[in-house]
Amino acid sequence: MSERVIPLIDQRIASLAAPSHVQPIAATGLLGDTLGRPLRDLRISVTDRCNFRCSYCMPKEVFDKDYQYLPHQSLLSFEEITRTARLFVAHGVQKIRLTGGEPLLRKNIEVLIEQLAQLRTVDGQPLDITLTTNGSLLRRKAQALKDAGLQRVTVSLDGLDDATFRTMNDVDFPVADVLDGIAAARETGLRNIKVNMVVKRGTNEQEILPMARHFQGSGVTLRFIEYMDVGATNGWRMHEVMPSEQVVRHIHAQMPLVQLEPSAPGETAERWGYAGANGLHDPSLGEIGVISSVTQAFCGDCNRARLSTEGKLYLCLFASQGYDLRALIRGGADDQALSSAIAHIWQGRSDRYSELRSAMDPDQSAPAGARRVEMSYIGG
């Protein structure tokens, strides 16, 4: 069998020039793309490093001891991130999610959170600041994150069975330590804690019911995510995808569910509440969510932009190229020039990969000629 070699470094270097010397666009908070989708959600990757080697994100055969991560000087500083985020907020962003890699590996991440917490939306409201983590460092960092202004946290956890979990993270990390991190988040008062489980058929679908039972009534919302064709390294195949509708049916057969209304416009998760004896949703039992990015595209109201750890702006999780904002940031562009560049990029956005996927071969992982960016580089 031939060895698979994927030149990731070329992918990270390749980028589109951000528009400069363009007609100024006033920041009114009403920015829309070519499909009329507003800009409301900014996901910021703060590091390309992670201490896990999950096969669907950073497989060990690619991200090995010889893999060349971005040098520290290539990463946006906290001040550069905050400045850029402030301009995005002026264009309508209301929510910022910090991602990675594993964001808690970024030294002094709480300093960045404190800076972002000072920003206000165009309506004068505090931002919704959240963070996605694998939970390995959460016990150690939870209090500092909360004190800095973090409001919510999402923890990735792909099963409760220790052997299954250790296999999936591929670094022999115990599930008990992640559960302890979730407990720490609750103890500090972080609210609306979510747990994300990527379901990969043939690997961890047997963990669906144990996870549902464990988190039912706990105050933690469990969300099941279809195994996605993100990047070029995870060897994605359609037969490994377990459709969300099957997940819901599987749980409903044991623990009755009722469908709930979306919590916000552009919400990626379909919500299902646990039913009480009367057949209605019992809030004390909580709810689950399912994210069906493979079988049920939700491009139509996608309002998310992604900023990579080195300052490239991506308009879709499945994008193959980003716009180099760092060149403007470090090239002396003033706020008006940088803000207008962001506006021109978003106004030209037409991305709808998940909708287009339905017309592709079921096992095709990317349109011909495209190599999509890795999830570990721009966050999920």
Please state the domain extents for the chain.
8-378
Task: Identify the residue with better confidence: 360 or 287.
Answer: 287
The per-residue pLDDT of the chain, averaged, comes to 88
Confidence of residue 266 (pLDDT cuts 50, 70, 90): low
Confidence of residue 2 (pLDDT cuts 50, 70, 90): very low
Domain 8-378 has CATH 3.20.20.70: yes
Task: Identify the residue with better confidence: 241 or 43.
Answer: 43
Per-residue model confidence (pLDDT) at position 337: 96
What is the percent of the chain with per-residue pLDDT over 70, rounded to a whole number? 86
Per-residue model confidence (pLDDT) at position 293: 79
Task: Identify the residue with better confidence: 351 or 338.
Answer: 338
* d(C-alpha 325, C-alpha 17), whole Å: 8
Q: At what angle do helices 335-347 and 78-90 cross, to 10 degrees?
A: 60
Confidence of residue 14 (pLDDT cuts 50, 70, 90): low
Task: Look at the block and give the residue holding tokens 């995005």.
Answer: 88
Taking the CB of residue 44, how many other CB atoms lie within 10 A of it? Answer: 26
Tens digits of per-residue pLDDT, 245-254?
999 999 999 9
* Residue-by-residue DSSP string for 151-180: -EEEEE---SSHHHHHHHHSS---HHHHHH
Pairing relationship of beta strands 287-291 and 221-226 according to DSSP bridges: parallel
Taking the CB of residue 220, how many other CB atoms lie within 10 A of it? Answer: 19
**Structure pTM?**
0.89
Per-residue model confidence (pLDDT) at position 235: 55
* pLDDT surpassing 90 at residue 62: no
Least confident of 13-22, 59-68, 264-273: 13-22
Q: Provide the 3-class DSSP secondary structure of residue 372.
A: coil
Least confident of 63-67, 142-146, 264-268, 344-348: 264-268
Per-residue model confidence (pLDDT) at position 359: 56
